[in-house]
Every structure is written in structure tokens, then in C-alpha cells.
Amino acid sequence: LRGASYMEVHASGGGINFTVRRTREASEDELYDAFQKRASIMMKNGTTLFEAKSGYGLDTDTEIKMLRVIKRGINSFPIDISATYCGAHSVPEGMTMEEATEDVITNQLPAIKKLMVQGELEVDNIDVFCEKGVFDVSSSHKILKAGQEAGLAINFHGEELHPLQSAEMGAKLGARAISHLEMVSEEGINAMADNGTVAVLLPTTAYILKLSPPPARAMIDQGVAVALGTDFNPNAFCLSMPLVMHLACIILKMTMEEALAAATINAAASLGKSKRQGSLEVGKLGDMVLIDAAR
């Protein structure tokens, strides 16, 4: 709010790395208590399926701790949760990008995969923050490919602050979804359309960071399925999908019908859930919210 950019805050030790330090200090029970409170608010705002990510540990033990919290939520909450491993959310303090990439691939992923096989963790997706000053396109490709080989679907941060051609890279890998995309190119949009990659747009982030909004209209016109998300995190503290739908209409110039589809069937598709959730159809889950309203 005082004018510092996202990466300036990040470079000063704030942002993700600040939250990493606090997450490492917290117990699993403390994290689960916060998880319960936030998930309950999401339910009250009408959410029936959401993606929960790790990414504030950046080491094997803390990433697993976060994924255990998510597993507890999967087991206890009456709504569906898709778990995403995001050990490459930031380069840990004291490490280089190359060292962090190697740690994710050779230490974190194998440990997580072992616990998945044992039934102690349930993880669906892999994420990486592909960005200038974080993980470059080459390192991101290596991490995403390793996650894919471990059985995880690719669903990652791309083209948020700088145009890096990460959308083209992700589409070539067969990414299920790419989020942010404020700086995506026409070539990136075409690649996503050709691959069937879902664009997860986050108007809360564009708003709070004062970024140019992602080109939603160009994506829709080119045939990319556009989904919406809250991007809930310490930077964009929003748990309300109705508010996100409103911002999509105002900031992203989407119609109300497009915003509704983006928050339901396309959002489910971004998590590989559209065959059984995201719309009211014969043979699908009766996954709906009943609202007592005057109209």
C-alpha cells in the first residue's frame, strides 16, 4: 500500500518468506485450527469444492506438515478439497534456485510420494511459482515434469509479473491448469487453447497488487476455459467466491454468465473434477447451495 512492488517486498524478506518462517514455527494443530476456521468461512460463502496448497514450508518436514493438515481437512470436512503440493513457491533463504530445484525433486517429492503410497497423504496437483527472481522456466519445467512423473497433475503459477513464455511451456507439458496469467502472450493463449489448459484467473491479486488484469476476454474468445479463484493467502485475504465473481465482471470484463461458469464448471475442470462436480446434471453429485433469499 506504500508503493513497494511484490518482488521488492519479497526481496526484503517479507511476503512468502515471512509466512514461511511463521509456518515452520507453528504446530500441526495450530495450522489445522486456522484451516478449520477459514474453510468454515468458505462454506458459509457458498463454496463446495476448493483447492488447498502447501508452499509455506519450502523444506521437506514443513511441506509434509502442511499436507498432513490438508489431509485432516479432507477427512473431516463435508465439502471436497483438492490438495496441491507447492514446495517450489519460493527459493528458501540461504539457497540458490538451482539448489532449491534439486531439493524439491530429489528430497521433497520422493518423501511425499512415499507417504501418498502409504495412505498418509492425499495429493492431487503440483505447483511452482514460475517467475523472474523465483523459479525460471527451465527449473519450473524440471519440477513440474518430476511432479507429473510422480502422478500429480500440473497446476501452476505462470506469467504473473513478467512474460516468460511459461504458458507455452506448461501447455506443452500438458498442464491441467495455469493460474494468474496477467502477462500471458497471444502465443501463450493459443498454446493453452490447443492443449485444453484451464486458465485460473485471480482478480483479487490483480486488484491488491495493482497489476494489469489478465486478458480474460482474449482467452475466452480464443477458446480457453476460464476459471476463477480467490487466491486466498496472506497477500489476498479473500474467502468469498461471490466477491471474486463480482470483481471478474468489473475488472476482467466478464459477463455474469461467464463468471458463473468460471466459478463452477470451469473451476471444477481446473481440478479435474468436472465429470462429477461443477454443474447440476443427471449422474453428477448434487453439489449445490440452497439460498433463502427474497429473489
45-55 tens-digit pLDDT: 999 999 999 99
Q: 3-state DSSP call for residue 82?
A: strand
pLDDT at 150 > cutoff 90: yes
62-96 tens-digit pLDDT: 999 999 999 999 999 999 999 999 999 999 999 99
CA torsion angle 108 163 226 272 (round to 10): -20
- The pLDDT of 199-226, averaged and rounded, is 96
177-201 tens-digit pLDDT: 999 999 999 999 999 999 999 999 9
- What pLDDT was estimated at residue 7? 67
Planar angle of CA 13, 16, 20, nearest 5 degrees: 90
Contacts of 43 (CB under 8 A, 6+ apart): 77, 78, 79
- The pLDDT of 120-147, averaged and rounded, is 98
Top pLDDT among 144 and 3 is at 144
E strands present in 93-241 = 125-128, 153-158, 177-180, 198-201, 226-228
Q: Please tell me the pTM assigned to this model.
A: 0.95
Q: 3-state DSSP call for residue 215?
A: coil
Top pLDDT among 271 and 14 is at 271
Q: What per-residue string of b and e applies to 230-266 under the rule 16 or more CB within 10 Å gives b?
A: bbbbebbebbbbeebbebbeebbebeeebbebbbbbb
- What pLDDT was estimated at residue 43? 94
With CA atoms as reference, report the closest residue to 194 among 172, 169, 227.
172
Residue entry with cell 525433486: 105
287 pLDDT tier (thresholds 50, 70, 90):
confident
- What pLDDT was estimated at residue 4? 67
Top pLDDT among 76 and 290 is at 76
With CA atoms as reference, report the closest residue to 147 among 95, 88, 229, 200.
88
Q: What is the mean pLDDT of the chain?
A: 95
- What is the DSSP pairing of strand 153-158 with strand 226-228? unpaired
Neighbours of 101 (CB within 10 A): 22
102-119 tens-digit pLDDT: 999 999 999 999 999 999
Contacts of 76 (CB under 8 A, 6+ apart): none
291 pLDDT tier (thresholds 50, 70, 90):
confident
- What pLDDT was estimated at residue 22? 96
CA torsion angle 53 58 64 66 (round to 10): -40
- The pLDDT of 235-246, averaged and rounded, is 96
13 pLDDT tier (thresholds 50, 70, 90):
low
Neighbours of 70 (CB within 10 A): 24
Top pLDDT among 83 and 16 is at 83
E strands present in 191-290 = 198-201, 226-228
Top pLDDT among 12 and 209 is at 209
- What pLDDT was estimated at residue 294? 87
- What pLDDT was estimated at residue 76? 95
pLDDT at 205 > cutoff 70: yes
Start-to-end CA distance of the chain, whole Å, equals 38
- What pLDDT was estimated at residue 14? 65
